[in-house]
Structure 1
Amino acid sequence: MAMSMKPSSANLFNYYNKQKLAQQCSESTNSLQLSMRHMNLQDPPQQPSQEPRPHMRSLRPRALDLSSQPSQEIQCTPDYLTPQEQLFRMDYEPSSMQLDDEVSRSPLPSPRAQKRPRPLKAHPTGPADEECSSQSQSRSMGGEPSTCSKALSGRPPIPKLREIQPPMPRNPYLVRADDDNHVFQASQSCLNRGSYSRFLWDYHQEVELGHGNFSKVYRAVHRLTGVAFAVKTNRSPITTLQARNMWLNEMQALAAVQHHPNIVGLYDAWFEPDVRGDAEQAYLKLELCGDSLGGAFKRRMLMKEQDVLDMLRQMASALKRIHELGMVHLDVKPDNIYMAVGHSLGSGGGGVYKLGDFGLAVVQGGQRAGTSEGDSKYLAPEALKSRDFLNSGLADRLDIFALGASAYELLRGSELPKNGQPYHDIRAGKIFLPGSNQRLVALLKKMMAPDPAQRPTAEQLLKSSLLNTAAGAGHSQPNPSTPQPLSQ
């Protein structure tokens, strides 16, 4: 007896697939026949009408009758060769390019979906990277460039910026030039115009110690070390090259005469942009001293003869150092002579004095950075007669006259005249100091002689018996607690 066999699951699956494929082929054949019948491919082509055409202007577009047109589904032959998964989608939006399973239906990726190349890794992480690293090392040792280094070139190298060095002008007080006669070399500014202030950042400004026509001096404490200094700066912003050169001249002159016990020490000097506008500020970090003799004189503090003799001897030593370098100070006066820290007037000798303010300093026979000739109360008579006094060969005697006039003013207890007949009488040698030591009066008359050739030099002043006697009586020594300048 024949028994009906139940097909297995695999055979049943193949059976249904064959039935489905046969049904699809039948439907495709019917659809193709229907499409060919509708298009009337067997009918002969119609002949064009021989009637005359109307004028083009009389023609008007007629409304399209969609009822008589075949449907869109049977207007063209469908594509039965390309699988459904590879048909193009006309919508290029990223959202429409992805299906539910995030698989693109387009054979080529959209331009928006292309991945950008990643930068080359700095360190090798695999065998391929190690091979590329070894090839690049062999290239650096002189070998040929490898294909791996060309393929993994990465980003183009960033060009190195050219480092601009700030200007470095020649110091005429330290290095002399044989090819020219210029005293000062102009320097253009090369600063970054920013809001950073080195002075305000590194120092705490406390009180103003004094001021002049062009400058002012503050007591400033270094924020990190707590050491106090005297910082000199300009009153008006520096806007011209001539004004900048005047400050640079003072920096260079003061740096050339350093390490002298009777000259104010210079620690540092710099320019920085002015925060108030397109200008510059100059800063000189100086040794902190006590009051000036001019300030003590204004407070009616009289100096004794022993104090004046000590001042003359120490200032002669400072001028000797200045004149040996071929330099002239041109601004010796009580306002620029300072007492060292820890010393005061009225002690009967033993004070330490320091000469400062080298803003008008100049080399003998050279050109000046500024136009000022100094304070008229202490100006020698030859400077009033000719402006070529620096080329006379006796320019150093201008400082000797100013030093004698300063001592004369401190001894007489009243301010020297600025003009008139008394002004010219002093320059004619008429000096009166009733009750003072006659040897001291004779020395002052010699220092303030109308003829500069009759005045002693700084070295001759130091050899004077009167000043040597004052040195033995005073025993003045520099203050060892004063910090030494850092400049050379």
Structure 2
Amino acid sequence: MIPSSQDYVPGSQDFITPKEQQYETAPEALKAGHHHLRSPAQLSPNRIKRPRNVLGNTHSTSMEYTQSSQSFERSNMDPPSTSGCGAGEEYGGPRKLVRTRQPSPPCARNVFVDGPEDSSDISKFPRRPPFVSRYRAEYREMTLLGQGNFSKVFRVCSKFDGLEYAIKRSFRVVTSEVEAKQWQQEAMAMAAAGTHPNIVRYYSSWTEQQGDGQLFYILMEKCDESLGHKQTFGERSFKEAELVDILCQVAEALQHLHARGIVHMDVKPDNIYTTKQGIYKLGDFGLATCRSLQRNVALEEGDSRYIPLEVLNDNFNALDRADMFMLGASLYELAIGTQLPTGGDKYQEIRQGKLMLMPTFTSQFQKMVKSLMAPVPAERPTPARVLASALLTKRSAARDSSKENYGALPLQPSH
């Protein structure tokens, strides 16, 4: 029989509750007078399973299951019991241990190095907590070596080994995914280049979280000054013997890079550095890319004063020969003692192979510069042909000697 409306009292807004139970639901034990019986919800066991010891030692407790709030969450617990209970029974009520798994930080594959393909996004960087700064903790900032539109380069001293390094840091906090990929591509190219006496050595790179973005750092070898700085604030022009040394050593660097499938794409006096030992080093891999452009890499145009015509016309079939044009344009600028034009008729004449005469230089050197800046990429010599030319055969013995001396040097940079 359905009870009448007076037998109901208002409940929640979604249902009503009968005033008296219509059915007997008490268990038989309660009917028999056992009033101390608790509800089934309170009869759950008060001990938990211990973690299985995979080593077979049943008497030792595992240290993996700690009671730290970072690893477990405890729920449904009663206040601690004062009675002496064994392990796992020290609390009066049941407890639940939930183990949380911390994900591994993302790791990207170097696109300049052959290896198994993966689907990792190279824009995802392992992020450090904002209160941790490796730069401030491990290095003492000394002077500013230079800066551009996207980065600053500092001379630093390591607090660990006391040696001096150069650290390239992003000029501002990076929030763009495109800019983050460019930074990582630069670090990857330097790492894939390996160790070479005529390439600025790469040591490490990292990021530090700051606000909604990240600061990017690249730790590398400290050099003295660039040829561009030397030309601007020192010598206005260079002698042929010095330019031949520059040609030889930069060609060695480009041969090493091209053999590894890397093109620099920003060869210019500002990116060729000197050392106290008279060694020239190619640095600043901010525009470096893959030689074949068949991988997931970006291509950005560098300084227009040194870019060949085919790259300006979006012809990227011979990027290694574009590096050779930039090397020739750099030598040409250092020889004439004035900066190359950024546009106009003179700019077009240079890309057509019409160069100024250089009376103080030999015809052999002028012929080399003219061939490096040939309008047709196929007519430009490769680094191997440059090194085998008659212009450089006279100093081949000195070049081999410098290699042996470099191999005997320590790997860490000097003060």
Match of 2:345 among 414, 421, 424: 421
Aligned letter for 1:408? Y
Cα gap change, 1:177 to 1:480, in 2 (>3 Å): closer
Aligned letter for 2:264? H
1:263-321 per-position Cα deviation (integer Å, ceiling 9, x unaligned): 111111111112xx321111111011111111101114132111111111111111111
Match of 1:336 in 2: 271
Match of 2:222 in 1: 288
Aligned letter for 1:375? D
Distance 2:146 2:225 in 1: 9
1:202 lines up with 2:138 in the alignment = yes
Match of 1:266 in 2: 202
Cα gap change, 1:283 to 1:329, in 2 (>3 Å): same
The correspondence of residues 215-254 of structure 1 with structure 2, limited to 5 A, is 215-254=151-190
Match of 1:355 in 2: 282
Larger Rg: 1
1:412 lines up with 2:336 in the alignment = yes
Residue 165 of structure 2 aligns to a residue whose secondary structure is strand
Contact 1:222 1:228 in 2 (8 A): yes
Cα gap change, 1:150 to 1:172, in 2 (>3 Å): closer
1:313 lines up with 2:238 in the alignment = no
Aligned letter for 2:161? T
Superposition deviation, residue 190 in structure 1? 3.7
Aligned letter for 1:429? G
1:382-405 per-position Cα deviation (integer Å, ceiling 9, x unaligned): 1122x2x22x2x221000000000
1:8-29 per-position Cα deviation (integer Å, ceiling 9, x unaligned): xxxxxxxxxxxxxxxxxxxxxx
Match of 1:381 among 290, 309, 316: 309
Aligned letter for 1:428? Q
Using the aligned pairs only, state the percent identity: 37
Residue 220 of structure 1 aligns to a residue whose secondary structure is strand
Distance 2:245 2:118 in 1: 42
Contact 2:207 2:214 in 1 (8 A): yes
Contact 1:262 1:353 in 2 (8 A): yes
Superposition deviation, residue 137 in structure 1? 3.0
Contact 1:292 1:336 in 2 (8 A): yes
Distance 2:89 2:118 in 1: 59
Distance 2:156 2:285 in 1: 20
Contact 2:141 2:157 in 1 (8 A): yes
The correspondence of residues 453-472 of structure 1 with structure 2, limited to 5 A, is 453-472=378-397
Contact 2:170 2:216 in 1 (8 A): yes
1:235-254 per-position Cα deviation (integer Å, ceiling 9, x unaligned): 12111111111110011100
Cα gap change, 1:202 to 1:467, in 2 (>3 Å): same
Cα gap change, 1:139 to 1:286, in 2 (>3 Å): closer
Aligned letter for 1:205? E
Distance 1:323 1:370 in 2: 17
Distance 2:299 2:282 in 1: 22
- Unmatched tracts of structure 1, length 5 or more: 1-118, 121-134, 141-146, 344-350
1:278 lines up with 2:212 in the alignment = yes
Contact 2:289 2:299 in 1 (8 A): no
Superposition deviation, residue 473 in structure 1? 6.1
Distance 2:151 2:256 in 1: 25
TM-score by length of 1: 0.63
Aligned letter for 1:380? P
1:5-59 per-position Cα deviation (integer Å, ceiling 9, x unaligned): xxxxxxxxxxxxxxxxxxxxxxxxxxxxxxxxxxxxxxxxxxxxxxxxxxxxxxx
Contact 1:230 1:287 in 2 (8 A): yes
Match of 1:297 in 2: 231
Contact 2:175 2:213 in 1 (8 A): yes
Report the aligned-residue RMSD: 3.2
Distance 1:444 1:185 in 2: 42
Structure whose residues are more often strand by fraction: 2
Residue 216 of structure 2 aligns to a residue whose secondary structure is strand
Distance 2:169 2:86 in 1: 62
Match of 1:435 among 360, 365, 383: 360
Contact 1:362 1:368 in 2 (8 A): no
Residue 137 of structure 1 aligns to a residue whose secondary structure is coil
Bigger CA drift: 442-451 or 457-466? 457-466
Match of 1:53 in 2: none
Contact 1:260 1:318 in 2 (8 A): yes
Superposition deviation, residue 185 in structure 1? 5.2
Match of 2:16 in 1: none
Match of 1:445 among 361, 370, 379: 370
Count matched residues.
Answer: 333
Distance 1:172 1:158 in 2: 43
Contact 1:331 1:375 in 2 (8 A): yes
Superposition deviation, residue 481 in structure 1? 8.4
Superposition deviation, residue 435 in structure 1? 2.2
Aligned letter for 2:100? L
Structure whose residues are more often helix by fraction: 1
Contact 1:239 1:279 in 2 (8 A): yes
Superposition deviation, residue 370 in structure 1? 4.7
Distance 2:60 2:304 in 1: 78
- Unmatched tracts of structure 2, length 5 or more: 1-46, 49-56, 63-84
Distance 1:270 1:160 in 2: 30
Aligned letter for 2:328? G
1:184-224 per-position Cα deviation (integer Å, ceiling 9, x unaligned): 95232341442221101111001001112211100011113
Superposition deviation, residue 480 in structure 1? 6.9
Distance 2:101 2:301 in 1: 44
Contact 1:242 1:370 in 2 (8 A): no
Contact 1:255 1:266 in 2 (8 A): yes
Aligned letter for 2:372? M
Contact 2:263 2:291 in 1 (8 A): yes
